[in-house]
Copies of this chain bind each other. A is one copy, B any other.
Amino acid sequence: MKNNGLLIVFSGPSGAGKDTILNHLMQVNPNLRLSVSATTRSPRVGEVDGQDYHFITKDQFKAMADHGEMLESAEYCGNCYGTPSEPIKNWISEGFDVILEIEVQGGAQIKKKCPECTSVFILPPSFSVLEHRLRNRNTENEETIQKRLETARKEILEAVHYDYFIINNTVENAADEINAIICAEKHKLYRDSNVIERVLNNA
């Protein structure tokens, strides 16, 4: 019998290095699956349906939300975004650990709906490192950068609601620490209290 996998909520401010850590994690941990969001916005150049997003119509989105098939949802700039629950449920029942990269408001929705999820917040080593990383992208003007820094500051304050924090000093260490958290969570007795029976019954 395979145990259920974990649902891992993964958040952090822009510039903390979430995507780099996730790319590395997916390479080193074959038991992970990444949740793919659904959106009603049009695909941008290079975006692949089912990989970057599930691109669906407003009617499809509404039907899924009405049937309780979205774990969380939100609207930005007139477009709907949401997390389809079906693939997550299937992966978890097959024993895979599912990572859901999501901003803090969505993370709070998930924690409320699935209190057994494991939430991890990625922090930069310091705010000045985050500022440096954001500025080094060289794609935005000063006003946009200031807005992003303000948003990042607010998001970091939300970390207090998460189970775990990871400081992204190096990608390898951050990934090791996330794998340690996954390993530890799988050894919590409340997640597998049958283990006692299995040992006693030599099962």
Contacts and interface: CB of A to CB of B under 8 A. Distances in A.
A44 interface: no
Interface string A168-197: 000000001101110111011100110110
Contact of A200 (B121, B125, B127, B183): B127
Interface stretch (A28-36, A63-71, A73-81, A159-167): A159-167
Q: Which of A159, A185, A189 has the most CB of B within 10 A?
A: A189
A203 B202 CA distance: 52
A195 B167 contact: yes
Contact of A187 (B156, B177, B188, B198): B177
A102 B189 CA distance: 18
A153 interface: yes
Contact of A165 (B163, B177, B192): B192
B157 A196 contact: yes
Given A183-B177, A185-B184, A187-B165, A160 B193 contact: yes
B195 A165 contact: yes
Contacts of A128: 202
A123 interface: yes
A168 to B, nearest CB: 10
A106 B63 CA distance: 56
A124 interface: yes
A164 B185 CA distance: 8
A1 interface: no
Given A123-B199, A157-B196, A163 B189 contact: yes
A176 to B, nearest CB: 8
A46 B98 CA distance: 52
Given A127-B202, A164-B184, A184-B184, 7 more contacts: A123-B196, A156-B200, A157-B196, A164-B187, A164-B188, A180-B180, A184-B185
